[in-house]
Amino acid sequence: MTAGPEQADLWTYRSGYETPADFDAFWRGTLDAAASHPLDLTLAPVATRLRTIDVFDVTFRGFGGDPVRAWLRVPRHRSGPLPAVVQYHGYASGRGHPLEDLLWPSAGYAHLLMDTRGQGGAWAGGHTPDPVGSGPSYPGFMTRGITAKETYFYRRVFTDAVRAVEAVRAVDLVDPARVSVVGASQGGGIALAAAGLVPDLRAVHLQAPLLCDIRQGVRQSTDGPYLEIAGYLGTHRGAVADVFATLAYFDGIAFAQRATAPAWFSTGLMDQVCPPATAFAAFHAYAGPKEIRAWEFNGHEAGGSLDLEIALDAFHASSGTTGTADDHGAVQGRTGP
């Protein structure tokens, strides 16, 4: 571990990350290959005791045409096309149970929660396998296929994320012009990738995002997924340059430089999993309108429910959701020191 910028320096910190010259060509080719597969979207109603929300079991085809699972939750009493939120979940988690994550449909949105392929064995169950193999890797997901950009695990995940946006836009009850993306930790990193790869999103919310300013994260974190990369490089000592050459195609800074939708970032200044400097690096690079809230005495949970209040208020304004919203609990973000 190395020391990161002091809290007062976070507003001026800029990453030393450099975008590969063929970054856009790589992702254009990746997404074009995915688009060659039909989306094959299916929605199966799920019977629940919920009175105000309908739940659907969703399948669509992601990277390589592989089936990806998701839950779609929508308000039962609805009229007209709905704004939609696509959510990506945290590291090693899955889409969980149909009765979980009811915030967004309760607020009037169509809510698609995507499985992350191969994950879901830690704290919320998943149902999407990753059929692609890997060479030697450290336990976890961060180093799977890390010897080349073509085989890296997150190439498949980020492609699935883009296809998830396409999937929710293909649902009849959704307004395709009002789709936003959200995520915390790994989910925040995935959401940022989607924001950089999908040019016409309505809004973005990123809570303590992973996969941003990755080299700094590997150097500075003392807990969480970045330690897998450090562990791998501790064994594969001669692979440092090649590993970070691969990771350069998946760093949130590059996606932030290409994202234009209004974005709300948050970070805990005591976060040892996704150090605050990494969130600020992505924030500073972000090309669209942006705000960030830094929580002085919080760790990886960042602002928790208060971040959700910020997102609800912001998305209400940007998505034109019908209904009313109270302002008493809103916490304003910051665009500068």
What residues form the annotated binding site for substrate?
Answer: 91
Cα–Cα distance between 288 and 265 in angstroms, integer? 12
CA dihedral 283, 144, 127, 124 (to 10 degrees): -60
Active site residue 266: no
Q: Which of 111, 205, 284, 300 is catalytic?
A: 300
The number of beta carbons lying within 10 Å of the beta carbon of residue 8 is: 8
Nearest CA among 18, 65, 102, 14 for reference residue 283: 14
Active site residue 134: no
Q: Which of 54, 251, 271, 307 is catalytic?
A: 271
Residue 244 phi/psi, 5-degree rounding, is: -75, -20
Report how far apart the first and last C-alpha atoms of the chain are (Å, whole number): 27
The number of beta carbons lying within 10 Å of the beta carbon of residue 107 is: 20
Nearest CA among 301, 303, 297 for reference residue 334: 303
Active site residue 236: no
| Catalytic residue numbers, as ranges | 185, 271, 300
